[in-house]
Structure 1
Amino acid sequence: MRNPRIEKIVKMGLLCAMSVALMYVVRFPLILPFLEYDMADVPMLIGAFLYGPFWGLLLVGIVCVLQALTVSAGSGWIGCVMHFVATGAYVLVAGTIYRGKRTLGGALLGLLLGSLAMMLIMVPMNLYLSPLFLMSAEMDYAAAQSSIMGIVWSFVAFNAIKAGINSSVTYFLYKPVSRLFKKDFFTWEKRAQ
């Protein structure tokens, strides 16, 4: 007996697992040594395209917490919040646009506007939250924020490159992956018997 709710939960779990695995496997510095690119956004974007923006945002929340507890434990709650806001804006905008226009053009428009949303929202996030990483006994918030002002364009460039790569990968992988996810996972086992 097929249960669509269970099947959806299993598929969402697979997307979460893929996202976390990609965080470990594809991870390297871009522009500045502490700005690391990872492909974790790709499965979350695919999830938003498959199931809608709400489910995509739910994936973002789960993956951000898992990332904060594992790969990016050093960035703590600040990194978790910044990742949720950045990727959440990206996935929410892309998923919402694609939901209204389920074509390759709609996917492209969603990915472009989602990338732009992420880049725009991360400017104030980097200006106000990134200084918290630099604060220490020798450097107060104002001095840390002043330091961040000098490299804010590096953050913008990083987010543009990251979103560009992830959007391109998502654009080319979405249709083949969606064909697999639209199949009934549980009947594959029955056919094999």
Structure 2
Amino acid sequence: MNKVNSSTMIRTKDMTKIGMLSVIGFILMYFQLPLTFVAPPFMKLDISDLPVLLGAFTMGPVFGIIIAALKNILALIFKGTITAGVGELSNFIVSATFAFVSSYIYRKHKTYNWAVVSLTVGVLFMTVLAMMSNYFIVFPLYGKVMPMEAIIAMGSAITSKITGLFTMMIYSVLPFNLIKGFTTSAVMMLVYKKVSPLFKN
């Protein structure tokens, strides 16, 4: 009986942590900064991946994926727009990949240096997958509600090197995700030691 109660308590605690981090991630999505020197207006920097990383690093990679999913489900419900689902899909793919890869490496080598390595590798994986998902899925979906020519024109206004969807990935999506990933990683390194005990216990 005690084992059952203990197991139930652990599951309840995990659910509480997941819910808390998901809500924090959702709230952080409202604090956005446009990077007009590198990305079109609809791509904005935020650090909503921070709670996803915290959950993945303290509880495990799968928990990070769950938090990323819940964060974007909340965004889809409360921030629905004409392109509802497109941005959330992109955010989930990027966020889940970042958290899973980084935490998987870190949980095998829990040192400061390996934390830096794991976050760096996570950013690189995230950026590559972001380029692929945006090229094959996200931008084509945007193209169904906005002419692709107009989307490319937004990129061309930033740099004349953007002349099509592929060059948009190279000169806009790639640097944007690198900036976003390393910004979030820097904040993660600053707060992890102070915040992680709250979620480990």
Q: TM above 0.5, one fold?
A: yes
Per the alignment, do residues 157 and 8 of structure 1 end up closer, same or farther by CA in structure 2, a change over 3 Å counting?
same
SS at match of 1:76: coil
- Note the alpha carbon deviations across 1:16-60, whole angstroms, 9 max, x for none: 111111112x21211321111111100000100000101111111
> Do the aligned partners of residues 138 and 68 (structure 1) sit closer, same or farther apart at CA in structure 2, a change above 3 Å counting?
closer
The separation in 2 between residues aligned to 1:138 and 1:14, in whole angstroms, is 39
Q: In structure 2, what is the equivalent of residue 107 of structure 1?
A: 115
> Is structure 2 residue 184 aligned with structure 1 residue 179?
no
Distance (Å, rounded) in 2 between the aligned partners of 1:110 and 1:137: 37
Q: Distance in 1 between matches of 2:147 and 2:199?
A: 52
Q: TM-score, normalised by structure 2?
A: 0.80
1:171 partner letter: M
Aligned positions, number: 179
Look up the equivalent residue of 2:90 and give its one-letter code.
M
Using the alignment, how far apart are the partners of 2:178 and 2:73 within structure 1? 24
Q: Which residue does the alignment assign to 2:23?
A: 17
CA separation of 1:139 and 1:19: change in aligned 2, threshold 3 A: closer
Separation in structure 2 between the aligned mates of residue 117 and residue 28 of structure 1, nearest angstrom: 23
What residue in structure 2 maps to residue 41 of structure 1? 49
Amino acid in the other structure paired with 1:47: G
**CA-CA distance at 1:72 after TM superposition:** 5.3
Shift in CA distance, 6/82, structure 1 to aligned 2, threshold 3 Å: same
RMSD of aligned Cα (Å):
2.3
Unaligned runs of 5+ in 1: 184-193
Moved more, 93-102 or 2-11: 2-11
Q: TM-score, normalised by structure 1?
A: 0.83
Q: Distance in 1 between matches of 2:175 and 2:187?
A: 18
